[in-house]
Structures are given as structure tokens and as C-alpha cells.
Amino acid sequence: MADLTITKANVIKGANSTVVNGIAGATVTAGQAVYEDTTDSNKIKLADANGATALIATCKGIALNDALAGQPISYIVGNDLGLGAILTIGTIYCLSATAGAICPAADLASGMRTTIIGVATTTSNLRIALNSSGALIA
């Protein structure tokens, strides 16, 4: 499989979603996985499973809006998210080796840190349940 193809206009939080607000530290698009850069005033940047440090692979949520560096950003940290992508029900989705991208767990490979983002409950809904293990795949 490959990274999800997300239609940003269709990224919609569920009624039960938990949302957090922050300030973008880079260009972020709705539907991308983000982390909180504690070394840069807690700015929100694109998470990456094979980033230079474990911090970059510590996904804090999925962006709900587009933002440029310095602009406000909202991101979902739990519960339901209409992702604007075709999902496979029951599949576990993880942080990809492409910055900000999401992939099926089956796509994890050597050199990536395992960060679970959630499980597809329908073909269009991802139940966000973040688990940034920090475990590096050998």
C-alpha cells in the first residue's frame, strides 16, 4: 500500500473529537500529522516517522486547517476524524516516513519509529488514538 491520499476539503472533525490549538512552525495542510516542537516555542510542525530525532516522530495530532508558519492551527488529538481518504475498515494507520503523511501499519519499515495514529472505523472515518512509542524498527 502507500500513504493515504487525503482530500483536505473533506477533513472534518467528529462531534466527539478532542481538538487542540497552537501556532504553526512550518507550512501545514489539513489532514497532515503534526508534532509539537518543544525546542522551538512549542510550534506545530510536520511529524515524520524517520525524522532526525524521536521528537519529530511523536505525533500530537492531525491538522484540521491549513496554516503557514506563525499562523494559528487546530489539530485533533482524539476520537473521530473524517479524513477525506479511502480507508480500510479495521486497519491500523501510522505515521509515515513522508513528513506529515499517514500510512497503513503494514507499510512500516526499517529506520522508522512506530507511531500509531488510529484505526479506521469506516471507509472514511479514522478513530484517532495516538501512541508514539518511540520504538525504532531495525
- What CATH number does the domain containing 95 carry? 2.40.300
Q: Does any domain span residue 21?
A: yes
Residue 2 lies in a domain: no
Domain span including residue 43: 8-136
- Residue 32 neighbours by CB distance under 10 Å: 24
Tell me whether residue 75 is in a domain: yes
Would you say residue 131 lies in a domain? yes
The total of structural domains in the chain comes to 1
Q: Which amino acid is located at 98 in the chain?
A: T
Smallest Cα–Cα separation from 47: which of 110, 97, 89?
97
24-60 pLDDT, tens digit per residue, is: 999 999 999 999 999 999 999 999 999 999 999 999 9
Q: How far is CA 37 from CA 24, 56, 61, 116, in A?
A: 10, 8, 13, 19
pLDDT (0 to 100) of residue 78: 97
* pLDDT tens per residue, range 71-108: 999 999 999 999 988 999 999 999 999 999 999 999 99
pLDDT at 133: 94
